[in-house]
């Protein structure tokens, strides 16, 4: 029985800087069974003050969600393309996004 | 003449085929700085009330800002303005590239085009020599051809060309003005105004250096941008715009199916994110005049005939003709971007108008009898591509219908289809959803041009649009003050710049009111008060009360009447623009306002005005 899960992490836009060895911002991580979304963020050592949107298999994730083998994680900075203004409805790295509208 | 300016506006009367130069004087420039404020000055004082936007009575204004053409990143922007044929209101759009800087290097701060030529013409501006030349050989030709021909005709590959496309020639109401083939004054149908004057292009060549008071801060700023590129401008520099689509989708407010859904298929979204374009099709990133950020994608796809000279899909295009229509093929999105640039059509208005049509087709309100047999289905990229050309030529019942824009088309079609038009003041809403973005809630109802996403009702963007600076550059307000000081030598401060912005907004407001804009046009479309059908925001509702409160608070901030939004007489007096009231038709600025500068200028918070409605 496998003791680990393999997940694919996609770092979007400037977040790709936090995985310099990854090809096109995509890297594979192998984590112990039971690992959660938050463990991915800790593994990548993203700065605590970076605001990040976290997706798990295409849906917004919360950091306690347990990862299954083959999961896809997207880490995206909140950019409003075409509008320079930063949104105010974000939270800090690792905490699931929720809108304040 | 003052530093930072030539103090020369080129006036061209195409009816009489004459040109003359206007000097506005240092006091004027210090009060208005340029860009949008220059547009507002000419539209208020030079366009008769109620003028048909496609008649010779309209003016077409090309307005540089004080920074345009000074050598540092972001100083390549210019404004274009006219009474809009799409909305009947204040039409304004900003463009980048090189043309605006070239105009300034030719010794001009702006161009005002009057009347209508009796046959197609173009302007040839070589330094201060101006000629009105025959354009019969250019009329009916696409943008790439026109630019190549003008450069060959004048034996100079560095001639910069601003032009209207074949769609403008057919009076497509959202036809744009494009310069450098890929930089557009996209919104409000300014290209249609240009073509209505039989003006096909303005070709410019100039080599003069703008006089600035102190070049050192400009040089230091250029150095700062380069040194901090990875920190401050990483995303623009590497991806252009569109790198946030996956994020907006995760959050549930990507634009899908005419603003009905906030989400789509996450795998399909990935296919047209900027990252995919960058990884697969971008040949290089390119930039505007003097800018090291270089945020413009240039894509190549040999198989599809997609050429780098037309740029590449940026965020608004990916949204408007990609996610909004659920077209997920990146090759089709690239072809759409190219085709729209080749015929000169605004991607946002085109995409949102087609989305309206697709929704109406879904609902059985637009039928194949109305469309001449064409079926409209979400995701059918091949048909969308065909529609670009049908609209550009106003061909067939559907091409002709959609060429009027979504609101105009809905009024022609009837059957209650107007309720599905997602617009503000007649300008279709851009690819940012107020249900997911707080600052869009504050922006869309109040921007003078309508459903324009650039935040042009607020100070930051308004200032950039006035001084000719790109809003992507992460300059803070103190730096912008320093830059204006460095260019002009004037001892300006932040309050003075806020005053300039407030003037421009009040002038645009007067224009809109005199052209018949109702006060209740300051609102969001009905669709925004419906919840999104899909995604994590589908339980959120935007209240009309909240929007109304934002609107009324803004009125007070700007020194306008708290209920009607008409600029108060005291405000106009304090801003030094009372004389524009004479051009405001039957709009009478209410007495009141304390002859003090409005709260937004003084930096004093306006009291939040609660809505009085029963909702």
pLDDT digits (tens, 9 = 90+) for B513-534: 999 998 799 999 999 999 999 9
Helix ranges (DSSP H) in B143-264: 143-153, 166-169, 190-196, 216-227, 229-232, 234-239, 245-251
Distance CA B537, CA B531 (A): 8
Q: What is the pLDDT of residues B81-97, one digit of tens each?
A: 999 999 999 999 999 99
B484 near B5, Cβ under 8 Å? no
The reported pLDDT for the residue numbered A83 is 46
* Higher pLDDT, residue A12 or B195: B195
- By Cβ distance, the residue of A53, A77, A89 closest to B438 is A89
CA angle B293/B298/B304 to nearest 5° reads 165
The values of phi and psi at residue B583, to 5°, are: -100, 10
Chain-chain contact of B432 with A83 (C-beta, under 8 angstroms): yes
The reported pLDDT for the residue numbered B306 is 98
The reported pLDDT for the residue numbered B289 is 97
pLDDT at residue B341 greater than cutoff 80: yes
Distance CA B428, CA B420 (A): 11
Chain-chain contact of B250 with A55 (C-beta, under 8 angstroms): yes
pLDDT at residue B615 greater than cutoff 90: no
Confidence of residue A92 (pLDDT cuts 50, 70, 90): very low
Interface list for A 33-92 with B (CB within 8 A): 53-55, 57-60, 74, 76-85, 87-89
pLDDT at residue A93 greater than cutoff 80: no
Distance CA A18, CA A11 (A): 8
**Of B274, B254, B281, B277, residue with least CA distance to B266:** B254
Distance from CA of B542 to the nearest CA of A (A): 8
Distance from CA of A1 to the nearest CA of B (A): 30
Interface list for B 395-434 with A (CB within 8 A): 430-432
The reported pLDDT for the residue numbered B244 is 79
Q: Which residues of A touch B351 (CB under 8 A)?
A: none
Q: What is the pLDDT of residues B21-52, one digit of tens each?
A: 999 999 999 999 999 999 999 999 999 999 99
Distance CA B153, CA B145 (A): 12
The values of phi and psi at residue A2, to 5°, are: -70, 145
Confidence of residue B612 (pLDDT cuts 50, 70, 90): low
Q: What is the pLDDT of residues B60-73, one digit of tens each?
A: 999 999 999 999 99
Distance CA B127, CA B115 (A): 24
Confidence of residue A85 (pLDDT cuts 50, 70, 90): very low
Chain-chain contact of B234 with A85 (C-beta, under 8 angstroms): no
Strands in B18-22's sheet, in edge-to-edge order, are: B18-22, B9-13, B110-114, B60-64, B78-83, B90-95
- By Cβ distance, the residue of B244, B274, B461 closest to A80 is B244
- In a 10 Å sphere around its CB, with 0-12 CB exposed, 13-18 middle and 19+ buried, how is residue B57 labelled? middle
Chain-chain contact of B243 with A81 (C-beta, under 8 angstroms): yes
pLDDT at residue B132 greater than cutoff 50: yes
- The label of the residue with tokens 């003709």 reads B321
For helices B459-467 and B477-488, the axis angle rounded to 10 degrees is: 20
Average pLDDT over residues B261-285: 93
The reported pLDDT for the residue numbered B42 is 98
Distance CA A32, CA B243 (A): 31
Distance of CA B207 to the CA centre of its chain: 27
Distance CA B569, CA B554 (A): 17
Distance from CA of B106 to the nearest CA of A (A): 30
The reported pLDDT for the residue numbered B439 is 82
The reported pLDDT for the residue numbered A91 is 33
Average pLDDT over residues A31-42: 92
Chain-chain contact of B243 with A12 (C-beta, under 8 angstroms): yes
Q: What is the pLDDT of residues B567-598, one digit of tens each?
A: 999 999 999 999 999 999 999 999 876 788 99
Q: Is the pTM of this model over 0.90?
A: yes
**Of B415, B336, B450, B344, residue with least CA distance to B86:** B450
> Is ipTM strictly over 0.85?
no
pLDDT at residue A100 greater than cutoff 50: no
Interface list for B 494-553 with A (CB within 8 A): 536-537, 540, 542
Chain-chain contact of A55 with B242 (C-beta, under 8 angstroms): no
């Amino acid at each position: 029985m496998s003791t680990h899960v393999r997940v694919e992490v996609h770092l979007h836009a400037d977040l790709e800087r936090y995985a310099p060895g990854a090809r096109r911002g995509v890297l594979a991580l192998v984590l112990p069974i039971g690992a959660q979304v938050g463990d991915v963020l800790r593994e990548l050592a993203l700065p605590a003050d970076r605001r990040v949107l976290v997706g798990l298999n295409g849906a917004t994730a919360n950091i306690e969600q347990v990862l299954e083998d083959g999961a896809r994680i997207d880490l995206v900075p909140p950019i409003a393309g075409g509008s320079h203004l930063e949104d105010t409805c974000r939270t800090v790295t690792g905490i699931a996004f929720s809108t304040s509208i | 003449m003052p530093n930072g300016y030539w103090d020369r506006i080129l006036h061209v009367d195409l009816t009489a085929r004459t040109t003359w130069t206007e000097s506005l004087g240092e006091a004027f420039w210090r009060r208005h700085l340029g860009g949008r404020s220059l547009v507002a000055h000419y539209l208020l004082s030079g366009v008769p009330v109620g003028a048909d936007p496609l008649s010779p009575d309209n003016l077409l204004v090309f307005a540089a800002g004080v920074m345009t053409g000074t050598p540092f990143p972001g100083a390549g922007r210019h404004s274009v303005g006219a009474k809009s044929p799409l909305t009947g209101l204040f039409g304004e759009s900003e463009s980048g590239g090189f043309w605006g800087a070239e105009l300034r290097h030719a010794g001009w701060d702006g161009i005002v085009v009057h009347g209508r030529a009796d046959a197609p013409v173009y302007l040839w501006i070589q330094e201060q020599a101006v000629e009105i030349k025959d354009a019969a050989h250019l009329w009916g030709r696409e943008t790439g051809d026109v630019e190549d021909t003008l450069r060959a005709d004048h034996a100079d590959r560095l001639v910069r060309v601003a032009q209207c496309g074949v769609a403008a020639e057919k009076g497509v109401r959202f036809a744009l003005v494009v310069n450098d083939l890929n930089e557009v004054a996209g919104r409000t149908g300014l290209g249609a105004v240009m073509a209505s004057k039989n003006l096909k292009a303005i070709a410019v060549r100039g080599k003069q250096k703008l006089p600035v008071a102190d070049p050192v801060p400009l040089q230091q700023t250029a150095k700062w941008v380069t040194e901090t590129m990875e920190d401050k401008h990483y995303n623009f520099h590497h991806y252009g715009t569109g790198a946030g689509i996956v994020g907006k989708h995760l959050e549930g407010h990507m634009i899908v199916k005419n603003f009905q859904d906030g989400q789509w298929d996450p795998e399909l979204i990935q296919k047209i994110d900027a990252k995919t374009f960058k990884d697969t099709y971008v040949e290089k990133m390119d930039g505007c005049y003097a800018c090291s950020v270089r945020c413009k994608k240039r894509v190549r796809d040999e198989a599809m005939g997609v050429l780098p000279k037309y740029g590449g899909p940026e965020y608004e295009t990916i949204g408007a003709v990609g996610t909004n229509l659920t077209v997920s093929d990146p090759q089709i999105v690239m072809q759409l971007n190219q085709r729209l640039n080749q015929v000169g059509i605004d991607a946002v208005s085109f995409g949102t108008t087609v989305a309206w049509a697709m929704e109406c087709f879904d609902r059985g309100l637009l039928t194949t009898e109305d469309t001449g047999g064409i079926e409209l289905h979400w995701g059918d990229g091949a048909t969308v591509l065909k529609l670009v050309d049908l609209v550009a030529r106003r061909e067939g019942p559907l091409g002709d219908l959609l060429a009027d824009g979504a609101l105009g088309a809905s009024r022609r079609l009837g059957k209650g289809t107007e309720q599905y038009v997602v617009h503000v003041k007649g300008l279709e809403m851009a690819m940012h959803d107020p249900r997911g973005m707080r600052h869009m809630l504050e922006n869309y109802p109040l921007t003078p041009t309508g459903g324009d996403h650039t935040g042009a009702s607020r100070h930051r963007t308004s200032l950039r649009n006035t001084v000719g600076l790109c809003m992507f550059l992460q300059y803070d307000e103190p730096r912008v003050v320093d830059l204006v000081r460095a260019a002009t030598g004037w001892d300006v401060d932040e309050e003075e710049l806020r005053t300039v912005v407030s003037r421009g907004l009040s002038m645009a407001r007067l224009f809109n009111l005199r052209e018949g804009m109702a006060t209740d046009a300051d609102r969001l479309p009905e669709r925004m008060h419906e919840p999104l059908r899909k995604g994590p925001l589908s339980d959120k509702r935007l209240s009309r009360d909240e929007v109304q409160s934002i609107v009324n608070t803004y009125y007070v901030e700007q020194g306008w009447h708290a209920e009607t939004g008409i600029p108060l007489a005291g405000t106009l007096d304090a801003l030094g623009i009372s004389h524009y009231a004479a051009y405001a038709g039957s709009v009478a600025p209410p007495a009141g306002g304390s002859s003090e500068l409005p709260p937004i200028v003084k930096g004093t918070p306006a009291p939040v005005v609660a809505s009085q409605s029963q909702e």
